[in-house]
Amino acid sequence: SPALGRLAEARGLLFGFAIRAGRLLSDADYAAFVVRQADILVPENACKWESLHPQPDRYDFGRLDQVADFAAGHGLRLRGHNFCWHRALPDWVERITGPAAVRAVLEAHIATVAGRYAGRMHSWDVVNEPIQPTDGLPGGLRDTFWYRSLGPGYIDLAFAAARRADPKALLCINDYGLENDDGGGPARREAMLSLLRGMLARGVPVGGVGLQSHLRAGGADRFGPGLARFIGELAGLGLRVLITELDVDDSRLDGSDDEIDREVAGVYRRYLDLVLGTGAIEAVTSWGVWDNRHYTGATPPDGPPARRALVFGPEGEIKPASRAVAAAL
Ligand code: XIL
């Protein structure tokens, strides 16, 4: 079987997966597969606020500590995802009122979590999904609890807190919908670039950008030269670029598994050839290890789940997408 991590390393890249912490710690086959294929892991949900900090005075670090030990024990890098997002926030956070109190809670959360794993995280998604031009806010920022409480400065605050607590990790902004050359893509790219230029001008310690890359099979994706140009512009700002949540939603495809697999593999190949062709990508993490009833950012919430969206088939079986990714790496 292709050990994708090794292929990636030979090209100066990292390859890995979003993992389910509970399964990694309890299923030896899953864990062994991950170790064989990956250079880098990101907990799919275990670093999110509601997982780590469910009550004001309670942090639950048990699972993430074990995942961090697992990664270190197997020489795998680890990404943290995430500190500031409009989802996975416990109610107690959203009930806080007043900028001083919100800021104190955000900074304390980041200090505690980033501080605990300092030196063990390759990177942190400090702010996740801050862009949403259709919300009508200045700069194309998303209308979130953090924005409403703290204004656009919440982003700078979060990065400063992360840097104070972890002097070494690559600090990233992560977002979706940046892939397409038409539709909402160009406006989202513009908003992202202007946010980043402003942050860099203000001396905010942002070092990387995650392109989530929840793609869709069936001709719905229109990534092309504009995406390569965008990645070049990010690199030109001195930023490192990561593909953070790669998957290919097949939920709207009809056909046999073979037909679906061929289509999905084609999207992986075209996408990776394009983005890796820029020479500016540092890591590729796929949003899940192997096929299951899968959430993808591109799956409509009321629709059927994706079935053959990931790089490997159920239980790690090699399928066309596995070979397409191996060939692209
Ligand atoms: C998703 C997880 O995959 C699901 O298990 C969870 O129920 C919701 O969150 N963008 C992100 C990820 O940044 O954190 C999301 O992960 C997928 C979309």
Residue by residue, DSSP assigns 190-256 as HHHHHHHHHHHHTT----EEEE--EEETTTT----HHHHHHHHHHHHTT-EEEEEEEEEE-TT--S-
0.90 surpassed by pTM: yes
Which residues lie with the beta carbon below 6 Å from any ligand 1 atom? 44-45, 128, 212, 245, 295, 297
- Taking 70 as the pLDDT cut, the residues of the chain under it are 1-2
Residues 140, 143, 144: CA angle, nearest 5 degrees: 130
> What is residue 302's predicted lDDT score, i.e. its pLDDT?
84
Nearest alpha-carbon partner for 311 in 246, 254, 251, 259: 246
> What is residue 255's predicted lDDT score, i.e. its pLDDT?
92
Q: Tell me how many domains the chain contains.
A: 1
pLDDT digits (tens, 9 = 90+) for 113-152: 999 999 999 999 999 999 999 999 999 999 999 999 999 9
> What is residue 2's predicted lDDT score, i.e. its pLDDT?
54
Task: Supply the residues annotated as catalytic.
Answer: 129, 245
Q: Whose CA is nearest to atom 4 of ligand 1?
A: 295
**Domain region containing 61:** 4-328
CB 172 within 8 A of CB 126: yes
Pocket test of ligand 1: the residue of 17, 19, 45 to mutate, having most ligand atoms within 8 Å of its CB, is: 45
> What is residue 1's predicted lDDT score, i.e. its pLDDT?
46
Instruction: Report the CATH number that the domain containing residue 194 is assigned in CATH.
Output: 3.20.20.80
Stated as kind and residue range, the H or E segment containing 118 is none
Query: What is the distance between the alpha carbons of residues 257 and 246, in angstroms, rounded to a whole number?
Result: 20
Residue with tokens 């069936």: 218
> What is residue 296's predicted lDDT score, i.e. its pLDDT?
82
